[in-house]
Amino acid sequence: MCGFAGFIDRPNRIADPASVMTSMSDAIRHRGPDGEGRSFDESRRVGLVHRRLAIQDPSDAGAQPMRSASERFELVYNGEIYDFLELRAELETLGHRFRGGSDTEVLLACFDAWGIEETLRRVDGMFAFAVVDRQEGRLTLARDQAGQKPLLLAIAGECIAFASDLRALEVLPDPFARQLSGINEDAFRWYLANGAVPWPFSIRPGVEHIPPGGLFEIDLENGRIDRRRWWTPPTEFPEDSDERFTPDDAANQVLDCLRTSVHRQCRSDRPIGIFLSAGLDSRVIAALASEVRPGLPAFTLGLPGPFDETGDAAMVAARLGLDHRIVRPSEDEVLETARSLHSVADAPFADSSLLATVLLSRAARPEIAVALGGDGGDELFGGYRRHLAATGPRGFKPRLARRLAAIGALLPDSISGKIKVGRGTLREASYRMQNIRLGHDGYLLLRGTQGDAADLFESGPIAARGRSRRNPWDGLAPEWNGVRSMMAADFRTYLPDDPLVKVDRGTMSCGMEYRAPMLGRDVISTAGALGTDRLFDARGGRAPVRAALRSLGLSDRGAKRGFAVPLSGWLRGPLREWAESLVLGDFEDPVDQTALREDWQRLQSGRSDLAVRLWTIVCWRAWLKSRH
């Protein structure tokens, strides 16, 4: 895993390419602490910069930019090709020879053998890359199907730039500097609602995210961009399975593809460990990883309160023979990290669980360079509470949830908001059930509770440019079909917008690679092919994952409790002075300051718990302040 950046300067507007490449490299140094490489093609005015986090073959033989054996392709790349050993063996039978042991060299040999697009369909990996095809005079940008690795594209007239991190684009001179000034109005509105900027938007105008599964080809002669997808997300899913395909068959199929994915992702020439929670996905990955990495170090974050998972995680670690470490940061460390979260992400990001990722990564980094985790399992196998609520009459829990929601709808918010139901409140459960019935529109309303500040938008003095259709994402099901449409929307939108941003930015902030075996190529295709009746049973979602756990001799009881940040207490206590300077300070931004001031007073008086929406504003303004 690394970081890269580059530009195409057809009109010769960049006077000092070497200085610009140095600035771009410095902006992504945190993504690649082990080395730097660059190249500049004077004739085509193409600059490539790479910062390396050396995982496979840490020798100079794995340095980038790297050219293929044929000299046709030149690549800068961020990620890992997990099946590179199998691909290498296949290529060797075709006559290819290799000088080193990196997956980068194998990826380039695949391009030589099969071309770029066919290679993408063959490989199992997480990636974002830029590759120059010297024969065709083309530069290709591509991103993996889940969107695990970031890739942004900036266009300023006839000049084009790209990068793993927005900060590498923000340091560019004119014409980019003028283009990237101000904010993208639509992106900011979505940030206020969701607590994260959704792809393809960027918070800066003139910048876009390459979509998950996206493939952009840029003609180096005329600058034209062909935007398409190398992978199209499925929009139709089977509801009922053939009766001959039993739940045990589904569990065995899922276990087989998970085992292959985990074993491949345990390949590393640097120390590897696992972020172990009490969740089912984390548990099954730990069990399968221990088959090829006995005594694997496992790290669990421990903080006081009802959401502490250390006890459950310790039992799993002991059962598997893992080298378990409980990370217990001091209160001062936690609070200081909270104040600096805006510097971790390259764009405003308000998911408070980023704090847990950063704390865990910093503690684990002295011992490991690669961490495995369970992200992706909820989206693929139906692990969220909203999935259970949308399944229809499949068991006791969904029926109970609907009855409770109906009761909640009859009560005033002041009462339903205080009645605990699971990890949330009766008001939240009622809101969830009401919106589930509304299809796409209801889904967007549910997502809007994550930032909870959409109504605070107000046009302001900052140049707000850029408008798009209401729903920014492509690849969603044209018609809403219950829980599978919701799961597909979560995979296509929520997963790359939030959880994958959190783990990428959180781990890369301290030079660590994060891998998600649940997002292996064959795991994604297997989950999508299963009937809904094999994903859900009377106990809820993730039925084949639970069955796989039982077959591995582990309990399938319990669930990940999550990292609950006491935002309300912090904003009224130890973080009050810092947060208040941001909430009540003089900022030129499109936020309704009068309404914001009233919300702050209501929170401080204890009349309303508006911590989520106020944290969304705090994160935004901390980020904005850091850019001035």
Segment 495-526, tens digit of pLDDT: 999 999 999 999 999 999 999 999 999 999 99
Residue type present at position 192? L
pLDDT of residue 464: 42
* Domain-terminating residue out of 523, 551, 579: 551
What is the DSSP secondary structure assignment for residue 61, as one 8-state letter?
G
**Are the beta carbons of 354 and 502 closer than 8 angstroms?**
yes
Q: Is 64 within the bounds of a domain? A: yes
Q: Clarify whether residues 30 and 132 are in a common domain.
A: yes
What is the C-alpha to C-alpha distance for residues 487 and 85, in angstroms, rounded to an integer?
32
Q: Is 77 within the bounds of a domain? A: yes
What is the C-alpha to C-alpha distance for residues 256 and 251, in angstroms, rounded to an integer?
9
Q: Clarify whether residues 198 and 258 are in a common domain.
A: no
- Residue 462's CB: how many other CB atoms inside 10 A? 17
Residue 218: domain span: 2-229
Q: Is 598 within the bounds of a domain? A: no
Q: Clarify whether residues 216 and 252 are in a common domain.
A: no
Q: Clarify whether residues 278 and 154 are in a common domain.
A: no
pLDDT of residue 394: 52
Q: Is 476 within the bounds of a domain? A: no
Segment 394-404, tens digit of pLDDT: 544 555 656 66
What is the C-alpha to C-alpha distance for residues 382 and 325, in angstroms, rounded to an integer?
30
* Domain-terminating residue out of 521, 551, 581: 551
CATH code at 164? Answer: 3.60.20.10
* Domain-terminating residue out of 551, 576, 602: 551
pLDDT of residue 396: 45
Q: Clarify whether residues 179 and 115 are in a common domain.
A: yes
Q: Is 579 within the bounds of a domain? A: no
Q: Which residue has the higher pLDDT, 426 or 289?
A: 289
> Above 90 in pLDDT, residue 66?
yes
Q: Is 405 within the bounds of a domain? A: no
Q: Clarify whether residues 21 and 151 are in a common domain.
A: yes
Q: Is 417 within the bounds of a domain? A: no
| Reported pTM | 0.92
Is residue 463 classed exposed, middle or buried when 0-12, 13-18 and 19+ CB atoms within 10 A define those classes?
exposed
Q: Clarify whether residues 277 and 351 are in a common domain.
A: yes
pLDDT band at 308 (very low <50, low <70, confident <90, very high): confident
Q: Is 36 within the bounds of a domain? A: yes
Q: Clarify whether residues 265 and 224 are in a common domain.
A: no
Q: Clarify whether residues 75 and 224 are in a common domain.
A: yes
**What Rg, from alpha-carbon coordinates, does the chain have?**
24
Q: Clarify whether residues 219 and 260 are in a common domain.
A: no
Q: Clarify whether residues 255 and 332 are in a common domain.
A: yes
What is the C-alpha to C-alpha distance for residues 330 and 317, in angstroms, rounded to an integer?
24
Q: Clarify whether residues 64 and 192 are in a common domain.
A: yes
Average pLDDT, the chain: 89
The residue-averaged pLDDT of 271-288 equals: 96
Segment 81-116, tens digit of pLDDT: 999 999 999 999 999 999 999 999 999 999 999 999
Domains in the chain: how many in total?
Answer: 2
CATH code at 265? Answer: 3.40.50.620
Q: Which residue has the higher pLDDT, 297 or 400?
A: 297
